Amino acid sequence: MTDIALVTGGTRGIGAAIARSLKSEGREVAAIYHGDDDAAAEFRHNTGIPVFKWDVADETACRQGVALVEKQLGPVSVLVNNAGIARDGLFHKMSWDQWRAVLATNLDSMFTMTRAIIEGMRERRFGRIINISSINGQKGQVGQVNYSAAKAGVIGFTKALAQENASRNITVNAVCPGYIDTDMVAAVKEEVRDGIIASIPVGRLGEPDEIAQAVSYLASPKAAFCTGSVLTINGGQYIANG
């Protein structure tokens, strides 16, 4: 049976690279998106990967969306929780809306998406769940109290869920990308971005495919002994303990 992989935020940036990589290994992939219809249509056209639109922060939409994907493609065996947004600003100026939006999309989505899929994985005694955290969930970042809190939460979520599901042959791992050449990083003010690049020992931003290759490993049957881990890929910008 063909493996079915579902990638949230799968039509742009890191998620699109992950979707492409998982497809290139022979899986059927569903790419979930919420915002940019034109980018999704272009991605669909260029890759042949089906796209589905729903809000990963909406519990009902996730349950219904996953049911639709599974009806059309089959049971999901690889889930990549990648969808994320930033609403940067210093905390003393941050609004409740900035906080809620980031926590909902980046952390509530761990519950909504994974809850909709995990029971089937447990019944089938197989699953690969890969959660995209961030360097800023590990080290904290000025202007990103909301994002850093959500991404740190992703790491705790990963470690606990890994322990609960190891006996069912379901692995749960987190990947912490550093600053990657995506729209999200392009949105940072140029002078701030230059400073960020100067602080990366490798001397450049990462490429989306450099994250996708790691996700492909974690999604593979060969990674069966790797669970509850936090994989740091940041060009040496922050050397974390896990």
Which one among 103, 188, 223, 233 touches ligand CAA, defined by CB under 6 A? 188
Please say which residue, 166 or 188, places its beta carbon nearer to ligand CAA. 188
Question: Does 192 help bind ligand CAA (rule: CB under 6 A)?
Answer: yes
Closest distance to ligand CAA from the beta carbon of 184 (Å): 5
For residue 169, the one-letter residue type is N
Please say which residue, 99 or 179, places its beta carbon nearer to ligand CAA. 179
Closest distance to ligand CAA from the beta carbon of 27 (Å): 25
Structure tokens, 173: 């791992």
Closest distance to ligand CAA from the beta carbon of 238 (Å): 10
In the annotation, is 147 catalytic?
yes
Q: By rule CB under 6 A, what string of x and - marks binding of each residue 105-144 to ligand CAA?
A: -----------------------------xxx----xxxx
Q: By rule CB under 6 A, what string of x and - marks binding of each residue 168-187 to ligand CAA?
A: -----------x----xx--
Which one among 44, 58, 87, 89 touches ligand CAA, defined by CB under 6 A? 89
Q: d(Cα 4, Cα 78) in Å, to the nearest integer?
A: 6
Question: Does 90 help bind ligand CAA (rule: CB under 6 A)?
Answer: yes
Closest distance to ligand CAA from the beta carbon of 200 (Å): 11
Q: Which residues contact 210 (CB under 8 A, 6 or more apart)?
A: 180, 233
Question: Does 202 help bind ligand CAA (rule: CB under 6 A)?
Answer: no
- Choose the catalytic residue: 33, 147, 179, 238: 147
SS (H, E, C) the chain: CCCEEEEECCCCHHHHHHHHHHHHCCCEEEEEECCCHHHHHHHHHHHCCCEEECCCCCHHHHHHHHHHHHHHCCCCCEEEECCCCCCCCCHHHCCHHHHHHHHHHHHHHHHHHHHHHHHHHHHHCCEEEEEECCHHHHHCCCCCHHHHHHHHHHHHHHHHHHHHHHHHCEEEEEEEECCECCHHHHCCCHHHHHHHHHCCCCCCCECHHHHHHHHHHHHCHHHCCCCCCEEEECCCCCCCCC
Please say which residue, 29 or 102, places its beta carbon nearer to ligand CAA. 102
Binding-site ranges for ligand CAA (CB under 6 A): 86, 88-90, 134-136, 141-144, 147, 179, 184-185, 188, 192
Which residues are annotated as catalytic?
147
